[in-house]
Amino acid sequence: MRVDFHFGAQNRFRDSCFILQKHFFAGKQFLVYLSDPRALAHFDRLLWGFQPTAFVPHAMADAPQAAQAPIILCHQPAQLETAQQWLNQPWVFNLDNEIVPIQPQSQRILEVVSTEEQCRQHARQRWRHYQTQGYDLQAQELRSRSAVQTK
């Protein structure tokens, strides 16, 4: 499995919206994981309005339309297990400070790391975990939001 770390996000959630949008337009499906339901609800609202013309179709895992959404937002392990059955080999977008709590049936995990020291420390721990599991680790620096949009 491949894990991509995007380092240097000025605003982790906002930059994550641009990254999700880019990959969605490329035809990818996602399970987005964040264990804090309030923070996930904030991310949900941000996905609807992070730019005036943005449209990134998604649903919270417990929403009635979740089974038809290409991006499903989850905050519990059981939601991840259920949601991955609705998608065809989705990528996992981890917004949590910890490792995703289940082994997803995925080919790729994306991690976005802000410039804040605490976020970077959590990312180092996740990096070491993935490394011990033998995952293919990739790192790239996010220089600006425009770079996120064009990469």
The domains located in the chain, with CATH, are 2-150 (3.40.50.10110)
Whether the pLDDT of residue 146 is over 80: the answer is no
d(CA 61, CA 63): 6
Contact 29, 87 (CB under 8 A): yes
* Rounded Cα gap, residues 126 and 144, in angstroms: 24
User: How does pLDDT run across 15-74, given as a tens digit for each residue?
Assistant: 999 999 999 999 999 999 999 999 999 999 999 989 888 779 999 999 999 999 999 999
DSSP H helical segments within 50-76, as ranges? none
Residue 144's pLDDT band, with cuts at 50, 70 and 90, is low
> In this predicted structure, what is the pLDDT of residue 143?
76
Q: pLDDT at position 72, please?
A: 97
pLDDT digits (tens, 9 = 90+) for 102-124: 776 778 999 999 999 999 999 99
Contacts of 22 (CB under 8 A, 6+ apart): 148, 149, 151
Residue entry with tokens 């680790």: 137
The Cα–Cα gap between 110 and 18 comes to: 13
